[in-house]
Amino acid sequence: MIDWARVAELRDEIGAAEFEEVVPLFLQEVEATVGDLPVLLHSAPETEAALHSLRGSALNLGFSAFAAICDEYEAAARAGATGGIDMTLIAGLYEQSREAFLRDLSDRLAA
């Protein structure tokens, strides 16, 4: 669910202090975009753009499972098929990823 090697790589790239600032910003941005998705589903290009943004953010912070579903649904939106996008799955997978990330972050980065 979480690519801890990527998380450690990001922390090493930007430094521990910056990492601590980036994490809450990432979570706020993702939560806002996930919240906007139901409205965006009426426009395939807007849905595609939002999912692309979510996927990029997720990959940067190691949310691998969440990134994979965003990638799948981004491709569907690109094809104009927004009707099959499951908002419950997106929101649920984000929440599971967020919980796992926050729960295990200090232990994983200390190792």
Q: What is the pLDDT of residue 42?
A: 85
Task: Name the pLDDT band for 39 (thresholds 50, 70, 90).
Answer: confident
Distance CA(61)–CA(78), nearest Å, equals 24
Crossing angle of the two packed helices 4-14 and 44-60, in degrees rounded to 10: 80
pLDDT at 111 over 80: no
**In whole angstroms, how far apart are CA 79 and each of 43, 58, 102?**
12, 22, 34
CA distance 57 to 26: 7
The confidence score (pLDDT) of residue 3 equals 97
For residue 97, what pLDDT is reported? 96
As assigned by CATH, the class of the 4-110 domain is mainly alpha
Checking if the pLDDT of 38 tops 60, the result is yes
Quote the tokens at residue 85: 């996008």
Banded model confidence at residue 75, pLDDT cuts 50, 70, 90: very high
Q: Which of 52, 40, 48, 34 is nearest to 90 (CA)?
A: 34
